[in-house]
Amino acid sequence: MNGVTQLHRPRRVAVLSVHTSPLEQPGTGDAGGLNVYVSETTRRLARHGIAVEVFTRATSSDLPPVVELAHGVLVRHVTAGPYEPLERAELPSQLCAFTAGVLRAEARQDPGHYDLVHSHYWLSGQVGWLVRERWGVPLVHTAHTLAKVKNAALADGDAPEPRVRVIGEQQVVDEADRLIANTDVEAAQLTGLYAADPDKVHTIAPGVDLDRFRPADRAADRAALGIPADAVVFAFVGRVQPLKAPDVLLRAAAELLARGDLARDRLVVLVAGGPSGSGLDQPAALQDLAAALGITDVVRFLPPQSGDALARVYRAADVVAVPSHNESFGLVALEAQACGTPVVAAAVGGLPVAVADGRSGLLVDGHATPDWADALTRLATAPRLRAELAAGAVRHARAFSWDRTTDALLAGYAEAGRALRRSLPRVEVAV
Protein backbone atom coordinates (compact mmCIF):
# COMPACT_ATOMS: atom_id res chain seq x y z
CA MET A 1 0.00 0.00 0.00
CA ASN A 2 2.97 2.33 -0.63
CA GLY A 3 3.34 3.01 3.09
CA VAL A 4 -0.29 4.07 3.57
CA THR A 5 -1.29 2.64 6.92
CA GLN A 6 -4.79 1.89 8.11
CA LEU A 7 -4.40 4.81 10.52
CA HIS A 8 -3.97 7.31 7.69
CA ARG A 9 -6.54 5.78 5.34
CA PRO A 10 -9.96 7.54 5.23
CA ARG A 11 -13.00 5.50 6.25
CA ARG A 12 -15.46 7.28 3.96
CA VAL A 13 -14.81 9.56 0.98
CA ALA A 14 -17.25 11.97 -0.65
CA VAL A 15 -16.52 12.16 -4.38
CA LEU A 16 -17.97 15.14 -6.24
CA SER A 17 -18.77 14.89 -9.95
CA VAL A 18 -21.30 17.64 -10.53
CA HIS A 19 -21.64 17.73 -14.30
CA THR A 20 -21.43 14.06 -15.25
CA SER A 21 -22.18 10.75 -13.56
CA PRO A 22 -20.05 7.60 -13.48
CA LEU A 23 -23.27 5.79 -14.44
CA GLU A 24 -23.36 7.52 -17.84
CA GLN A 25 -22.07 6.03 -21.09
CA PRO A 26 -18.69 7.55 -22.05
CA GLY A 27 -18.40 8.89 -25.58
CA THR A 28 -21.36 11.24 -25.77
CA GLY A 29 -22.69 14.33 -24.03
CA ASP A 30 -20.31 15.31 -21.21
CA ALA A 31 -19.34 11.72 -20.48
CA GLY A 32 -15.77 10.71 -21.22
CA GLY A 33 -12.51 9.95 -19.49
CA LEU A 34 -13.59 11.64 -16.26
CA ASN A 35 -16.50 9.19 -15.93
CA VAL A 36 -14.17 6.24 -16.46
CA TYR A 37 -11.69 7.65 -13.92
CA VAL A 38 -14.34 8.11 -11.23
CA SER A 39 -15.92 4.71 -11.86
CA GLU A 40 -12.64 2.77 -11.86
CA THR A 41 -11.00 4.48 -8.90
CA THR A 42 -14.07 4.45 -6.64
CA ARG A 43 -14.58 0.72 -7.24
CA ARG A 44 -11.00 0.06 -6.19
CA LEU A 45 -11.21 2.34 -3.17
CA ALA A 46 -14.18 0.26 -2.04
CA ARG A 47 -12.12 -2.93 -2.45
CA HIS A 48 -9.68 -1.40 0.05
CA GLY A 49 -12.54 -1.18 2.53
CA ILE A 50 -13.27 2.52 2.01
CA ALA A 51 -16.92 3.55 1.71
CA VAL A 52 -17.40 5.92 -1.22
CA GLU A 53 -20.34 8.20 -2.00
CA VAL A 54 -20.38 9.95 -5.37
CA PHE A 55 -22.49 13.11 -5.62
CA THR A 56 -23.73 14.05 -9.09
CA ARG A 57 -26.52 16.23 -10.46
CA ALA A 58 -29.86 14.54 -11.15
CA THR A 59 -30.79 14.95 -14.82
CA SER A 60 -34.09 13.07 -14.73
CA SER A 61 -36.96 12.75 -12.26
CA ASP A 62 -36.88 9.00 -12.92
CA LEU A 63 -33.47 8.63 -11.32
CA PRO A 64 -33.58 7.12 -7.82
CA PRO A 65 -31.98 9.25 -5.11
CA VAL A 66 -29.28 6.64 -4.51
CA VAL A 67 -27.85 3.96 -6.81
CA GLU A 68 -25.23 1.36 -5.94
CA LEU A 69 -22.46 1.56 -8.55
CA ALA A 70 -20.59 -1.32 -6.95
CA HIS A 71 -20.30 -2.90 -3.52
CA GLY A 72 -19.23 -0.06 -1.25
CA VAL A 73 -19.86 2.70 -3.83
CA LEU A 74 -23.08 4.74 -3.78
CA VAL A 75 -24.07 7.36 -6.36
CA ARG A 76 -26.26 10.11 -4.91
CA HIS A 77 -28.36 12.10 -7.37
CA VAL A 78 -28.62 15.68 -6.13
CA THR A 79 -31.52 17.85 -7.28
CA ALA A 80 -30.04 21.09 -8.62
CA GLY A 81 -31.97 22.85 -11.35
CA PRO A 82 -34.34 21.26 -13.87
CA TYR A 83 -34.48 17.51 -14.43
CA GLU A 84 -32.69 17.65 -17.74
CA PRO A 85 -29.14 17.85 -19.02
CA LEU A 86 -27.73 21.37 -18.87
CA GLU A 87 -24.87 22.84 -20.84
CA ARG A 88 -21.76 23.41 -18.76
CA ALA A 89 -22.19 27.18 -19.12
CA GLU A 90 -25.52 26.86 -17.29
CA LEU A 91 -24.21 24.79 -14.40
CA PRO A 92 -22.48 27.50 -12.31
CA SER A 93 -25.94 28.91 -11.53
CA GLN A 94 -26.85 25.58 -9.92
CA LEU A 95 -23.79 25.19 -7.69
CA CYS A 96 -25.53 26.77 -4.70
CA ALA A 97 -28.41 24.27 -4.97
CA PHE A 98 -26.00 21.39 -5.47
CA THR A 99 -23.91 22.39 -2.46
CA ALA A 100 -27.05 22.60 -0.34
CA GLY A 101 -27.98 19.07 -1.40
CA VAL A 102 -24.55 17.72 -0.46
CA LEU A 103 -24.65 19.46 2.92
CA ARG A 104 -28.15 18.12 3.62
CA ALA A 105 -27.00 14.57 2.89
CA GLU A 106 -24.14 14.94 5.36
CA ALA A 107 -26.38 16.58 7.99
CA ARG A 108 -28.50 13.40 8.14
CA GLN A 109 -25.46 11.43 9.32
CA ASP A 110 -23.51 11.41 12.56
CA PRO A 111 -20.83 14.12 12.86
CA GLY A 112 -17.61 13.23 11.06
CA HIS A 113 -19.37 11.03 8.51
CA TYR A 114 -16.91 11.89 5.70
CA ASP A 115 -13.15 11.93 6.21
CA LEU A 116 -12.17 13.46 2.86
CA VAL A 117 -13.60 15.12 -0.25
CA HIS A 118 -12.30 14.37 -3.76
CA SER A 119 -13.66 16.73 -6.42
CA HIS A 120 -13.41 16.22 -10.17
CA TYR A 121 -13.45 19.19 -12.59
CA TRP A 122 -13.65 22.82 -11.51
CA LEU A 123 -17.42 22.87 -10.95
CA SER A 124 -17.07 20.10 -8.38
CA GLY A 125 -14.06 21.87 -6.91
CA GLN A 126 -16.21 24.90 -6.14
CA VAL A 127 -18.57 22.68 -4.14
CA GLY A 128 -15.65 20.83 -2.56
CA TRP A 129 -14.08 24.07 -1.37
CA LEU A 130 -17.26 24.97 0.53
CA VAL A 131 -17.97 21.57 2.07
CA ARG A 132 -14.31 21.25 3.09
CA GLU A 133 -14.71 24.37 5.20
CA ARG A 134 -17.99 23.14 6.65
CA TRP A 135 -16.85 19.61 7.47
CA GLY A 136 -13.26 20.37 8.40
CA VAL A 137 -11.87 17.61 6.16
CA PRO A 138 -9.17 17.71 3.45
CA LEU A 139 -10.05 18.53 -0.15
CA VAL A 140 -8.29 16.63 -2.95
CA HIS A 141 -8.99 17.98 -6.43
CA THR A 142 -8.44 16.60 -9.93
CA ALA A 143 -8.98 19.19 -12.66
CA HIS A 144 -8.97 16.80 -15.67
CA THR A 145 -8.81 19.81 -17.99
CA LEU A 146 -7.73 23.42 -17.46
CA ALA A 147 -9.35 26.46 -19.05
CA LYS A 148 -6.10 28.35 -19.69
CA VAL A 149 -4.63 25.32 -21.44
CA LYS A 150 -7.72 24.71 -23.55
CA ASN A 151 -7.94 28.36 -24.58
CA ALA A 152 -4.33 28.26 -25.77
CA ALA A 153 -5.10 25.40 -28.17
CA LEU A 154 -8.63 25.98 -29.46
CA ALA A 155 -9.91 24.00 -32.41
CA ASP A 156 -11.59 25.81 -35.29
CA GLY A 157 -15.21 26.39 -34.38
CA ASP A 158 -14.67 25.85 -30.66
CA ALA A 159 -15.61 28.63 -28.22
CA PRO A 160 -13.08 29.70 -25.58
CA GLU A 161 -13.67 28.74 -21.98
CA PRO A 162 -15.36 31.61 -20.11
CA ARG A 163 -13.67 33.89 -17.60
CA VAL A 164 -15.88 32.55 -14.81
CA ARG A 165 -14.23 29.16 -15.24
CA VAL A 166 -10.72 30.61 -15.15
CA ILE A 167 -11.56 32.45 -11.91
CA GLY A 168 -13.28 29.38 -10.45
CA GLU A 169 -10.31 27.15 -11.22
CA GLN A 170 -7.95 29.58 -9.57
CA GLN A 171 -10.05 29.59 -6.41
CA VAL A 172 -10.04 25.80 -6.24
CA VAL A 173 -6.29 25.63 -6.86
CA ASP A 174 -5.75 28.07 -4.00
CA GLU A 175 -8.00 26.23 -1.55
CA ALA A 176 -7.42 22.52 -2.22
CA ASP A 177 -5.16 20.58 0.14
CA ARG A 178 -3.88 18.38 -2.68
CA LEU A 179 -4.05 18.77 -6.48
CA ILE A 180 -3.83 15.59 -8.54
CA ALA A 181 -2.26 16.05 -11.99
CA ASN A 182 -2.39 13.33 -14.63
CA THR A 183 1.11 14.08 -15.94
CA ASP A 184 4.17 16.14 -15.10
CA VAL A 185 3.12 18.47 -17.94
CA GLU A 186 -0.18 19.16 -16.19
CA ALA A 187 1.62 19.62 -12.87
CA ALA A 188 3.81 22.27 -14.52
CA GLN A 189 0.71 23.95 -15.94
CA LEU A 190 -0.84 24.13 -12.47
CA THR A 191 2.25 25.71 -10.97
CA GLY A 192 3.09 27.89 -13.97
CA LEU A 193 -0.35 29.09 -15.10
CA TYR A 194 -2.20 28.99 -11.76
CA ALA A 195 0.67 29.57 -9.29
CA ALA A 196 -0.20 26.35 -7.44
CA ASP A 197 1.98 25.49 -4.46
CA PRO A 198 4.33 22.78 -5.84
CA ASP A 199 4.14 20.92 -2.52
CA LYS A 200 0.38 20.49 -3.06
CA VAL A 201 0.66 19.09 -6.59
CA HIS A 202 1.05 15.35 -7.05
CA THR A 203 1.33 13.57 -10.41
CA ILE A 204 -0.68 10.35 -10.58
CA ALA A 205 -1.20 8.81 -14.01
CA PRO A 206 -4.62 7.34 -14.80
CA GLY A 207 -4.83 3.64 -15.55
CA VAL A 208 -6.40 1.10 -17.86
CA ASP A 209 -8.49 -2.00 -17.18
CA LEU A 210 -5.96 -4.60 -18.25
CA ASP A 211 -8.45 -7.45 -17.78
CA ARG A 212 -10.91 -6.00 -20.29
CA PHE A 213 -8.54 -4.29 -22.71
CA ARG A 214 -6.16 -6.96 -23.95
CA PRO A 215 -5.15 -8.57 -27.25
CA ALA A 216 -7.50 -11.20 -28.67
CA ASP A 217 -8.64 -12.64 -32.00
CA ARG A 218 -8.67 -9.65 -34.37
CA ALA A 219 -10.28 -11.64 -37.17
CA ALA A 220 -13.18 -12.58 -34.90
CA ASP A 221 -13.62 -8.98 -33.79
CA ARG A 222 -13.68 -7.81 -37.40
CA ALA A 223 -16.17 -10.49 -38.34
CA ALA A 224 -18.44 -9.37 -35.47
CA LEU A 225 -18.35 -5.82 -36.89
CA GLY A 226 -18.80 -6.94 -40.48
CA ILE A 227 -15.33 -5.79 -41.53
CA PRO A 228 -13.31 -7.83 -44.05
CA ALA A 229 -10.31 -9.61 -42.54
CA ASP A 230 -7.91 -7.99 -45.05
CA ALA A 231 -9.23 -4.42 -44.65
CA VAL A 232 -7.04 -1.53 -43.50
CA VAL A 233 -8.94 -0.08 -40.54
CA PHE A 234 -8.42 3.32 -38.92
CA ALA A 235 -10.57 4.10 -35.87
CA PHE A 236 -11.56 7.14 -33.84
CA VAL A 237 -13.18 6.57 -30.45
CA GLY A 238 -14.61 9.36 -28.31
CA ARG A 239 -16.87 12.36 -28.18
CA VAL A 240 -17.53 13.97 -31.54
CA GLN A 241 -16.59 17.61 -30.97
CA PRO A 242 -13.99 20.03 -32.35
CA LEU A 243 -11.68 19.54 -29.34
CA LYS A 244 -11.31 15.81 -30.10
CA ALA A 245 -10.75 16.59 -33.81
CA PRO A 246 -12.23 13.51 -35.53
CA ASP A 247 -12.28 15.63 -38.69
CA VAL A 248 -8.48 15.32 -38.81
CA LEU A 249 -8.80 11.55 -39.36
CA LEU A 250 -11.41 11.98 -42.10
CA ARG A 251 -9.36 14.60 -43.93
CA ALA A 252 -6.23 12.43 -43.69
CA ALA A 253 -8.14 9.41 -45.03
CA ALA A 254 -9.36 11.44 -47.99
CA GLU A 255 -5.82 12.69 -48.61
CA LEU A 256 -4.17 9.29 -48.63
CA LEU A 257 -6.86 7.93 -50.96
CA ALA A 258 -6.37 10.89 -53.31
CA ARG A 259 -2.61 10.23 -53.31
CA GLY A 260 -3.16 6.56 -54.10
CA ASP A 261 -1.43 5.40 -50.90
CA LEU A 262 -4.18 2.82 -50.24
CA ALA A 263 -6.72 1.00 -52.37
CA ARG A 264 -10.14 2.46 -51.74
CA ASP A 265 -11.88 -0.90 -51.54
CA ARG A 266 -9.62 -1.94 -48.63
CA LEU A 267 -10.01 1.13 -46.39
CA VAL A 268 -12.46 1.30 -43.49
CA VAL A 269 -12.66 4.31 -41.17
CA LEU A 270 -14.56 3.66 -37.92
CA VAL A 271 -15.94 6.54 -35.87
CA ALA A 272 -17.38 5.37 -32.53
CA GLY A 273 -18.94 8.14 -30.44
CA GLY A 274 -21.66 10.73 -30.20
CA PRO A 275 -21.93 14.53 -30.42
CA SER A 276 -20.71 16.45 -27.39
CA GLY A 277 -19.94 20.00 -26.29
CA SER A 278 -19.90 22.43 -29.18
CA GLY A 279 -20.42 19.45 -31.46
CA LEU A 280 -24.05 19.39 -30.33
CA ASP A 281 -24.65 22.55 -32.36
CA GLN A 282 -24.05 20.55 -35.55
CA PRO A 283 -24.66 16.89 -34.68
CA ALA A 284 -24.35 15.74 -38.30
CA ALA A 285 -21.27 17.83 -39.11
CA LEU A 286 -18.92 14.84 -39.33
CA GLN A 287 -21.25 12.94 -41.65
CA ASP A 288 -21.53 16.07 -43.79
CA LEU A 289 -17.74 16.35 -43.88
CA ALA A 290 -17.40 12.73 -45.01
CA ALA A 291 -19.84 13.47 -47.85
CA ALA A 292 -18.02 16.66 -48.82
CA LEU A 293 -14.70 14.78 -48.89
CA GLY A 294 -16.22 12.02 -51.01
CA ILE A 295 -15.44 9.22 -48.54
CA THR A 296 -18.89 8.28 -47.27
CA ASP A 297 -18.36 4.80 -48.69
CA VAL A 298 -15.35 4.10 -46.45
CA VAL A 299 -16.56 5.71 -43.19
CA ARG A 300 -18.72 3.81 -40.72
CA PHE A 301 -20.33 5.62 -37.80
CA LEU A 302 -21.00 3.64 -34.63
CA PRO A 303 -22.79 4.77 -31.46
CA PRO A 304 -20.71 5.11 -28.27
CA GLN A 305 -19.34 1.74 -27.23
CA SER A 306 -18.64 0.35 -23.78
CA GLY A 307 -17.15 -2.71 -22.16
CA ASP A 308 -16.30 -5.62 -24.41
CA ALA A 309 -17.87 -3.88 -27.41
CA LEU A 310 -15.39 -1.02 -27.02
CA ALA A 311 -12.47 -3.45 -26.78
CA ARG A 312 -13.72 -5.08 -29.99
CA VAL A 313 -13.53 -1.77 -31.85
CA TYR A 314 -9.98 -1.18 -30.65
CA ARG A 315 -8.86 -4.68 -31.66
CA ALA A 316 -10.57 -4.50 -35.04
CA ALA A 317 -8.47 -1.47 -35.98
CA ASP A 318 -4.98 -1.46 -37.43
CA VAL A 319 -4.49 2.02 -36.01
CA VAL A 320 -6.45 4.14 -33.52
CA ALA A 321 -6.19 7.88 -34.15
CA VAL A 322 -6.24 10.36 -31.26
CA PRO A 323 -5.95 13.77 -33.01
CA SER A 324 -7.19 15.91 -30.10
CA HIS A 325 -6.21 19.57 -29.82
CA ASN A 326 -5.75 19.03 -26.09
CA GLU A 327 -5.80 16.01 -23.76
CA SER A 328 -4.88 16.02 -20.09
CA PHE A 329 -3.96 12.36 -20.58
CA GLY A 330 -5.77 10.31 -23.25
CA LEU A 331 -7.44 7.17 -21.89
CA VAL A 332 -8.53 6.11 -25.38
CA ALA A 333 -4.89 5.90 -26.43
CA LEU A 334 -4.04 3.73 -23.42
CA GLU A 335 -7.04 1.41 -23.88
CA ALA A 336 -6.26 0.91 -27.57
CA GLN A 337 -2.62 0.07 -26.86
CA ALA A 338 -3.62 -2.40 -24.15
CA CYS A 339 -5.59 -4.19 -26.89
CA GLY A 340 -2.46 -4.41 -29.02
CA THR A 341 -3.36 -1.62 -31.44
CA PRO A 342 -0.81 1.10 -32.25
CA VAL A 343 -1.92 4.71 -31.85
CA VAL A 344 -1.27 7.77 -33.97
CA ALA A 345 -1.79 10.75 -31.69
CA ALA A 346 -1.30 14.49 -31.61
CA ALA A 347 1.75 15.50 -29.59
CA VAL A 348 -0.28 17.57 -27.13
CA GLY A 349 -1.00 17.56 -23.39
CA GLY A 350 -0.59 14.15 -21.80
CA LEU A 351 -0.56 12.16 -25.05
CA PRO A 352 3.27 12.00 -25.18
CA VAL A 353 2.99 10.13 -21.86
CA ALA A 354 0.09 7.91 -22.93
CA VAL A 355 1.86 7.04 -26.22
CA ALA A 356 5.54 6.07 -26.43
CA ASP A 357 6.56 7.65 -29.74
CA GLY A 358 8.23 5.10 -32.00
CA ARG A 359 7.62 2.27 -29.53
CA SER A 360 3.84 1.99 -29.08
CA GLY A 361 2.66 4.40 -31.75
CA LEU A 362 3.49 7.62 -33.52
CA LEU A 363 3.11 11.23 -32.38
CA VAL A 364 2.29 13.95 -34.91
CA ASP A 365 3.18 17.59 -34.38
CA GLY A 366 0.14 19.70 -35.25
CA HIS A 367 -2.96 18.74 -37.21
CA ALA A 368 -1.94 19.32 -40.82
CA THR A 369 -3.69 16.87 -43.15
CA PRO A 370 -0.54 15.82 -45.09
CA ASP A 371 1.32 15.00 -41.86
CA TRP A 372 -1.51 12.83 -40.59
CA ALA A 373 -1.91 11.13 -43.95
CA ASP A 374 1.83 10.37 -43.93
CA ALA A 375 1.71 8.84 -40.43
CA LEU A 376 -1.33 6.71 -41.18
CA THR A 377 0.10 5.54 -44.49
CA ARG A 378 3.39 4.67 -42.84
CA LEU A 379 1.69 2.23 -40.49
CA ALA A 380 -0.86 0.94 -42.99
CA THR A 381 1.77 -0.01 -45.55
CA ALA A 382 4.45 -1.40 -43.22
CA PRO A 383 3.19 -4.63 -41.59
CA ARG A 384 6.49 -5.28 -39.81
CA LEU A 385 6.57 -1.82 -38.23
CA ARG A 386 2.92 -2.14 -37.28
CA ALA A 387 3.58 -5.50 -35.61
CA GLU A 388 6.54 -4.06 -33.68
CA LEU A 389 4.47 -1.13 -32.47
CA ALA A 390 1.58 -3.43 -31.57
CA ALA A 391 3.86 -5.47 -29.30
CA GLY A 392 5.29 -2.28 -27.86
CA ALA A 393 1.80 -0.93 -27.29
CA VAL A 394 0.90 -3.86 -25.04
CA ARG A 395 4.15 -3.51 -23.07
CA HIS A 396 3.63 0.23 -22.67
CA ALA A 397 0.02 -0.11 -21.49
CA ARG A 398 1.00 -2.68 -18.88
CA ALA A 399 2.92 0.03 -17.06
CA PHE A 400 -0.45 1.61 -16.22
CA SER A 401 -3.24 0.14 -14.13
CA TRP A 402 -6.14 1.46 -12.10
CA ASP A 403 -4.84 -0.44 -9.06
CA ARG A 404 -1.60 1.53 -9.24
CA THR A 405 -3.54 4.76 -9.69
CA THR A 406 -5.74 4.01 -6.69
CA ASP A 407 -2.79 3.11 -4.46
CA ALA A 408 -1.20 6.44 -5.34
CA LEU A 409 -4.46 8.25 -4.61
CA LEU A 410 -4.59 6.64 -1.17
CA ALA A 411 -1.09 7.92 -0.47
CA GLY A 412 -2.21 11.38 -1.62
CA TYR A 413 -5.27 11.20 0.62
CA ALA A 414 -3.08 10.41 3.61
CA GLU A 415 -0.76 13.31 2.81
CA ALA A 416 -3.73 15.66 2.45
CA GLY A 417 -5.01 14.60 5.85
CA ARG A 418 -1.64 15.14 7.49
CA ALA A 419 -1.29 18.55 5.82
CA LEU A 420 -4.69 19.65 7.07
CA ARG A 421 -3.90 18.54 10.62
CA ARG A 422 -0.62 20.47 10.54
CA SER A 423 -2.46 23.60 9.43
CA LEU A 424 -4.93 23.52 12.31
CA PRO A 425 -4.15 25.82 15.26
CA ARG A 426 -2.67 24.03 18.23
CA VAL A 427 -4.76 24.23 21.38
CA GLU A 428 -2.83 24.67 24.62
CA VAL A 429 -4.37 22.81 27.53
CA ALA A 430 -3.91 24.44 30.93
CA VAL A 431 -2.71 22.11 33.67
Domain extents in the chain? 12-207+402-423, 218-398
Please indicate if the annotation marks 317 as binding a ligand.
yes
Burial 157-193 (b: 16+ CB within 10 A, else e): ebeebeeebbebbbebbebbbbbbbbbebbbebbbeb
- Residue 315 labelled as part of a binding site: yes
Q: 29: annotated binding-site residue?
A: no
From residue 243, give the alpha-carbon distance in Å to each of 237, 278, 332: 13, 9, 14
Residue-level pLDDT at 6: 52
Angle (CA) 306-322-32 rounded to 5° is 40
- Determine if residue 45 is labeled as part of a ligand binding site: no
In this structure, how many other beta carbons lie within 10 angstroms of the beta carbon of residue 359? 15
pLDDT of residue 103: 97
Q: Say if domain 218-398 classifies as CATH 3.40.50.2000.
A: yes
Highest mean pLDDT among 166-170, 272-276, 427-431 belongs to 166-170
Identify the three-state secondary structure at position 341.
coil
Average pLDDT over residues 32-58: 95
- CA 395 to mean position of chain CA atoms: 21
Q: What is the percentage of the chain residues whose pLDDT exceeds 70?
A: 94
83 is in an annotated binding site: no
Quick count: other Cβ atoms within 10 Å of Cβ 265? 9
Task: Please tell me the predicted confidence (pLDDT) of residue 429.
Answer: 44
- According to the annotation, is 26 in a ligand binding site? yes
Given this model, what pLDDT does residue 3 score? 44
34 known member of a binding site: yes
Q: Matching CATH topology for 12-207+402-423 and 218-398? A: yes
pLDDT of residue 348: 94
What does the pLDDT average to over 383-387? 96
Q: How many helices and strands (H and E) does the chain possess?
A: 15, 14
DSSP secondary structure letter of residue 240: B
- Report how far apart, in Å, the C-alpha atoms of 104 and of each of 82, 127, 131, 244 are: 19, 13, 11, 38
Q: How far apart are CA 218 and CA 48, in angstroms?
A: 35
> CATH number of the domain at 12-207+402-423, out of 3.30.465.10, 3.40.50.2000, 3.50.50.60, 3.30.590.10?
3.40.50.2000
Indicate the DSSP class of residue 357. B
Annotated binding residue 264: no
pLDDT band for 211, please (50, 70, 90 cuts): very high
Say whether 146 counts as a known binding-site residue. no
Q: What is the pLDDT of residues 332-353, one digit of tens each?
A: 999 999 999 999 999 999 999 9
Q: Band the pLDDT of 313: cuts 50, 70, 90.
A: very high
